[in-house]
Structure 1
Amino acid sequence: MADGMINGFSGLFESLTDASCEADAILRLQSGVQGLGFDRVMFAVIPQPKVSLSDVYMRSNYPTRWREQYDRDNLRAADPTVEHCFKASSPFIWMPQSFQGDQQHALYEEASSHGLKAGVTLPIHGSSGEIGMLTCVRDQAPGNGFINDLHQQLGQLTLLRDLAFDTMRPYMHAPPPSQEVPALTARELDCLQWMAAGKTAWEIGRILSISEAGVNFHIGNLRTKFGVSRRNDVVIKAIRFGLITLPG
């Protein structure tokens, strides 16, 4: 058991600390969270004290429709995880009984309908006044199995939170990339999204009803437009520019 835990810590450390850029770190964080049995992750930090919540640095692979509803309806005001992270350092466990009162119950029901049913929020309190959270969520009704898993994984999740904060800190204060965002065709965007989902050129061709050669042609154009030579670098740059969403 101890050896397995040490190996797990080592793998998480090496994965995040070896990230080549912000988008690469985000993908590695997502992979680490999924390796611990969670479906979704949100990393959110207010990078400086006394700034607006609207200035939060946030990266997640939550469903887009849920994020839009959350922002549109200002559900943050009823979100107990936000209040918890401002006043506590202990984990907040996502279970129905963790949400108190009508507003919080309604929030949990809405989140559950989007596949956010059970999980844990780990508060972040940085040495320079940063406040935030790492939230890892499953699309699974909470029960004894979830609690047992969480007891075993909490150490690795805490390490992952600290590593993610150290890795992402430079990007929280970094200016936006100076490179101009390339203009892409609709077909190139389609290819990008399926590349981010891990599909091969042959699989993308089947999905889009075009030839594999046609897919490779579009990928070649993408490499040229992004100024990179590797397929993975195309995906990383596209995520960084906000052209596609994280696979989830």
Structure 2
Amino acid sequence: MPLDRLIADHATLVRAATSDAEIHAHTLSAARELGFDRIAIVHALWFVRPGARLIFLHNFDEWGEIFLARRYYAHDPALLTARRTNKPFTWTEMVTMNPPDRLGARILGEAGRHGLRAGFTVPVAVPGEPGGCCSFATDADELPPAAYRRAAAWIAGEAFEQARRLHGYPVSVEDSEAPHLSPRRLECLCWATIGRTDAQIALIMGLRPSTVRTYMRDLRYLFGVCSRTELARAAQRAGLIGLDDVFP
């Protein structure tokens, strides 16, 4: 089947899906057309705090059970690398981008012995939501051609988006829209996010404390929240605050 047709057919099917099982089945079918026989569509947070809103779909079978039982997710090179890049990567590239430690190397070796010898991972990150990834694996010595991997990346994006739909993501439009902020209010928001008090922000920005209090009051009003903690969460959800702002 032509790759464009495969991508379009998969999108049609998963957009009509009403369960995780359907999304997994349609995505696995498309992956097999591309030369992959194992897939995982996951929110990384699921491994630490399993919950109904978090996505965890896979057919890793025995390897999946071992992965959970031994808590390999804390050291898995694919999950760790997916947190550090926005572009899809092969597992060969991954070893260069983010060299695994001894346990990470052991995980890769064990995965290979359980039928995941070569793989391709697509990171997924949406502001304000748990991060995740889609991984495709095969027992073959080599991955499918680059064009097939690009098709897999499109399929992964659609599968994750439709899984998010079934799990209650994204948040409502009203909650996720970012209000327009002046540069000074945005700077004030960033300082407040890392725990600075109004007095400290006034000193840092060279403003009167009353001006900072006005800025903070305006920010709470614009985001529809009552506290600084809620303000930080709302700003992150809207994509105005990233990890570099929270952990400078």
| Fold similarity call, TM over 0.5 | yes
SS at match of 2:49: helix
Give the whole-Å Cα distance in 2 for the aligned partners of 1:57 and 1:14: 20
Structure 2 match to 1:21: 19
Residue in structure 1 matched with residue 64 of structure 2 by the alignment: 67
Please, which runs of 5 or more residues in structure 2 have no aligned partner? Answer: 170-248
- For residues 169 and 139 of structure 1, the distance between their equivalents in structure 2, rounded to whole angstroms, comes to 29
2:138 counterpart residue number: 138
Q: Quick one: distance in 2 between partners of 1:59 and 1:52? A: 12
Partner of 2:182: none
Structure 2 letter corresponding to 1:141? D
Moved over 6 A (4+): none
The 10-residue stretch of structure 1 (74-83 or 35-44) with the greater mean CA deviation from structure 2: 74-83
Partner of residue 148, structure 2: 153
> Do the aligned residues in 2 keep the contact of 1:94 with 1:117 (CA within 8 Å)?
no
**Aligned residue in 1 for 2:159:** 164
Alignment of 1:121 with 2:153, yes or no, is no
- The Cα RMSD (Å) is 2.6
Distance 2:134 2:147 in 1: 18
Give the match's secondary structure for 1:88: coil
Whether the aligned pair in 1 keeps the contact of 2:42 and 2:55 (CA below 8 Å) is yes
Contact 2:38 2:59 in 1 (8 A): yes
Q: 1:57 aligns with which of 55, 58, 69?
A: 55
Looking at structure 2, the residues matched to 24 and 80 of structure 1 have their Cα atoms a distance apart, in angstroms, of 28
Contact 1:90/1:122, CA 8 A, preserved across alignment: yes
Report Cα offsets for 1:60-80 as digits up to 9, x if no partner. 0102x2222212222122211
Match of 2:245 in 1: none
Aligned to 2:34: 36
Q: Which deviations, in whole Å up to 9, do the C-alpha atoms of 1:222-246 show, x marking residues without a partner?
A: xxxxxxxxxxxxxxxxxxxxxxxxx
| Contact 1:121–1:134 under 8 Å retained in 2 | yes
1:8 pairs with 2:3: no
Q: Which digits, 9 at most, give the CA deviation of each residue in 1:81-122, with x for residues without a partner?
A: 111122211123123982534222211111111111001011
Hey, what's the Cα distance between the residues in 1 that align with 2:48 and 2:105?
Answer: 23
Report the AA paired with residue 11 of structure 1. D
SS at match of 1:10: helix
In structure 1, C-alpha distance between the alignment counterparts of 2:15 and 2:57, rounded to whole Å: 18
Question: Matches of residues 156-235 of structure 1 in structure 2 within 5 Å?
Answer: 156-173=151-168
Whether 1:95 aligns to 2:73 is no
Does the residue aligned with 1:95 lie in a helix, a strand or coil?
helix
Amino acid at match of 1:84: T
Whether the aligned pair in 2 keeps the contact of 1:43 and 1:135 (CA below 8 Å) is yes
- Aligned pairs, how many? 163
Q: Which is further off, 109-118 or 93-102?
A: 93-102
Whose radius of gyration is greater, 1 or 2?
2
Encode CA deviations 1:172-216: one digit per residue, 9 max, x unaligned: 349xxxxxxxxxxxxxxxxxxxxxxxxxxxxxxxxxxxxxxxxxx
Shift of 1:29: 1.3
Relative distance call for 1:75 and 1:8 in structure 2 (3 A) is same
Q: Distance in 1 between matches of 2:72 and 2:157?
A: 27
